[in-house]
Chain A
Amino acid sequence: MSEPVLVGNQLLELREQFENPEQQRETASIGMWVFLITEVMMFGGLFTAFTVYRLSNPAAFNEGSKEMTIVLGAINTALLILSSFTMALAVYSSSIGKTKLLAIFLIITMIIGLCFLGIKFTEYYLHYQDHKVPGFWFEYHGPSARQVQMFFVFYFILTGLHVIHMTIGIGILLVMLYRTLLGSFSATYHTAVDLAGIYWSFVDIIWIFLYAIFYIPGLHLK
C-alpha cells in the first residue's frame, strides 16, 4: 500500500495515491478539520435544542444546574485542560523528533483522560443516587419537575456523547503510543500525532462549553 520515499535523509511512508509527503500531510489535515466540522454540527444540533428549551424555562434549567456537583465539574475541567496541554507538548515533542518525550506525554495525557472519566462516572453515580437520571425513576420535588428533567435529559445526552468521544480519544492515543514505540514517528513524519492532538483538544473544547452551560448557571442559587 505505501512505499518508502526518501525525504532529506529519512525514509518516509508515502501512500500510493499521493505525489509527495507534503500533499499527504495537507490532505490528512483537511480531512481531520472537515471531520471536526461535522462534530461541531452534531453537538451544535444539541446546543440549539438546549438553547430553545433553556430560553423557555430559564428558572427550571437553573434549578437543574443547581443539582450539579461543582467541585467535581471544576476539577474535571481543569484536568481536561491540563491533558490538552500535555497533548500539545506531545505534538511539540514529536515535531522536534523527541520520540521518548512524545511517548511520555502520550501516557500522561491518557492517564489524565482516564481520571476525567473516573470522576465523570462518579458524578453519574451520584446523580443515580439522587434519582436525577431521567426516566421513571426520576424524582424532583418542585413546581417544574418536567422541565428540570428535560435539563437532565440534555445533560446526559451531551455528557454521554462527550464520554464516548473521550473513550475514542484514549483509544486513538493508545494507537499513537503503539506506533511511537514501533518508531513510526520522527521529525519528518508525525502527521498522525498532530491529528490526534487536534482531535483531543477539540473534545476538550466541547467539555468547556458543557461546563459553561450545565455547571455554572445554577451556582449562584447555592
Chain B
Amino acid sequence: MQLQDQVHIGGSADMTIETIAEPVRKNYLNDKQGILSWLLTTDHKRIGLLYTFSITVLFFIGGFFALMMRLELLSPRNWLVSTETYNKLFTMHGIIMVWFFLIPSIPNTIGNFVIPLMIGAKDLAFPKLNLASWYVFMLGAGVTIYALFRGGVDTGWTFYTPFSTGYSTTYVIAAAMGIFISGFSTIMTSVNFIATIHRMRAPGLTWFRLPIFIWSMYANSVVLVLNTPVLAITLVMVAVERVFQVGIFDPALGGDPVLFQHMFWFYSHPAVYTMVLPGMAVISEIVPVFSRKPIFGYTAVAFSSVGIAVIGFLVWGHHMFVAGESVYSAMAFSLLSYFVAVPSAIKVFNWTATMYKGSVSWDTPMLYAIGFIGLFTIGGMTGLFLAALGLDVHVHDTYFVIAHFHYIMVGGTVMAFLGAFHYWWPKISGKLYPEGLGKLGAMIVFLGFNLTFFPQFVLGYLGMPRRYAAYPEEFQMLHIISTAGATILGVGYILPLCYLIWSWKYGKPAGPNPWRATGLEWQTSSPPPTHNFKKTPVVNVRAYDYEAMKEQLGLREREFENV
C-alpha cells in the first residue's frame, strides 16, 4: 500500500512487488463519476481513453470501406459498387485511416496515457491543451464524416491537383477542412509532448535513462510539429484554388501541379514515419520486458529514432519519380531514401539482438512485437525496391506500393497498436485480459494480414494498377485470396475488441506490475491514481536495468541471462 510513498527505483531492495496487495482504492477511473467528469477532464489518462474510444470507432469506419473495396474486387467486373463509388471508397478509407487513425493512433492514446507515467510526472505540461486537442480532433473527424455523408470525396487521400481543385465534383473542401482541423489537434498534442519530455522528467531521469518509448515519441512529435503546418497551408491553397478558381496548382490557370506534390509529400513522407515511429516506440518497450534483458545498444536505438526523424524529411521526392521531377533531383532523393533504411535497420537488428539469449516469454504483446519486426522488415525492404529509380518506374502506382505501405502501416503500426494495448491494458484497466484469446487473436491477425497483403505484392509486380475497380481476369485468383485474408483480418480485429471490453468488467485484477517490467509506469498502482504517483519518484538506474531491479521485481535468478 505504501510503496508510492517511497518509490525509489533501484533503491531499497526490501520492497518486493508482493507487498502491494490490491484493495479497492481511489484511482483515475473512480475518482470522479459522471459523463461530465470525462468530457471536462484534464487528466492525461482519461483523455487517452477518450482518444481510444474515438479512434476505435474511426478505425472500424475506415475498415468498413476497406472491406467494401475487397468485396468489390472479388470479381474482375464491377458487381457491387459503381466505379465512382469505388473511387470514394478508397479515398475515404485512406483519409480516415491516415489522419484519423494512424497518425493519432499510438501517440494520442497510449502516448497520452503512459508518457507522464513513464517520466514520473503528474500530468502532461499543458493538460487543458490536451483536452482541447481531443475536441479539435473530434471536430475534424466530424467535418470529415459530414463530407462522407454528403457524398464523399473521390480524389484519393493525396488530393492531387488539378483534379482536386478543378475537376472533382465531390466534397473536396469539406474533407480537406476536416484534415486541416485535425492537424491543429496533432500540433497541440505534439507541442505538449515536447514540452513535457523536456521539462517534466522526474529527478534523476536523465535523457539516457529514459525508456526508448520516450525517445521515439519525442522524435515523432518533433516531426509532426515540423511537417503538419505545411500540410495545413497546402490544403488551404487547394481550397483557395478550388473556390476562387485562381491559379496556384492548376496548369490551366498558370500553376504547377508538381509543386503541390512537393508540398504534399514534404508533409506526407515524414508523416509516414510519424505513423511507424510510435509503433517502433512500443516494440522497443515490449521486447526488453519479455526478454528480461536491457535493450541491446540503447544509444544506437535512441538515436536511430532521431535519425529517422531527420532523414525522413529529405526523401519525399521518391514519390514523384514519374511525376515530372528532374532526374538529378530524383537521383538525390533515391540515394537519400536508401540512407533512411539505415536507422530502421539498426532498430530491427537491435530488437533481435535483445531477444538473443534472453529469457523470452511468448505472451500476447510479445507475439505482436515479433509480428511487427517480421512484417516491418518486409515492408521496409520492399520500400528499398521502390526507392530504386528504375524499379519504381515499373511498379509505381501498382498494388506493389499498396502492399508495401500496408506492411508498414498495418503490419507495423496496427500490430504495434494492438501489442501496446495488450501490454498496457493491465495498467489502463487494472484488469488482465484472457491470455489464451489474446494469443489466438495475435495469430489470426498475423495470418489474415499476410493472406491479405502478400498476394498484392505479386499482383503489383504483375502490373495490377492501384485504384481500379475492375481488372483483367487473370488477376482474379490473387484478388480472391486477398479478400479472404481481409475477412480473417477483420475477425482478428474484432476479437481483441470484444475480450478487452469483456475484461474491463470481468477480468482478473492485474496488480501494479503483472509483467514485472522496470518502467516507472509499473511502479504505481493499476489503474493509477489521478496524480499518477503519491510522491514524485526519484530515478537512479538506467531503463530496463533488470539486474539492478531484480530483487525489487521479485525475479528469480534464472530469468536472467546477462551480467
Contacts and interface: CB of A to CB of B under 8 A. Distances in A.
Interface in B470-492: none
Interface string A13-36: 000111100010011101100110
A38 B192 CA distance: 13
Interface in A46-102: 46, 48-49, 52-53, 56
Contact of B125 (A1, A17, A35, A42): A17
B470 to A, nearest CB: 37
Interface string A194-211: 000000000000000000
B253 A30 contact: no
Interface stretch (A124-132, A145-153, A181-189): A145-153
B191 A52 contact: no
B253 A146 contact: yes
A11 B374 CA distance: 57
Nearest to B228: A38
A31 B247 contact: no
A27 B125 CA distance: 7
B225 A52 contact: no
Nearest to B127: A17
B259 A30 contact: no
Contacts of A149: 246-247, 254
B437 interface: no
With most chain A CB atoms within 10 A of its CB, the pick from B200, B247, B254 is: B254
A34 B225 CA distance: 8
Interface string A131-166: 000111010000000110110010001000000000
B248 A150 contact: yes
A1 B522 CA distance: 27
B227 interface: yes
Contacts of B340: none
B30 interface: no
B124 A38 contact: no
The SS class assigned to the A binding surface is: helix
Contacts of A27: 125, 195-196, 198-200
A31 B230 contact: no
Contacts of A171: none
Nearest to A49: B259
B136 interface: no
Contact of A153 (B229, B240, B262, B536): B240
A35 B224 CA distance: 11
Contacts of A1: 42
A189 B400 CA distance: 58
A42 B253 contact: no
Contacts of B236: 157
A67 to B, nearest CB: 16
A49 B260 CA distance: 9
Given A30-B199, A31-B126, A42-B229, A135 B256 contact: no
A184 B549 CA distance: 47
**Nearest 3 Cβ contacts at the A-B interface:** A42-B229, A17-B123, A146-B254
5 contacts: A19-B536, A27-B198, A35-B187, A135-B244, A138-B246
Given A41-B227, A150-B246, 18 more contacts: A17-B125, A17-B127, A17-B200, A27-B125, A31-B125, A31-B126, A38-B187, A38-B226, A41-B229, A44-B229, A45-B266, A46-B233, A49-B263, A53-B256, A150-B255, A153-B246, A153-B247, A157-B240
Interface of A: 1, 16-19, 23, 26-28, 30-31, 34-35, 37-39, 41-46, 48-49, 52-53, 56, 134-136, 138, 146-147, 149-150, 153, 157
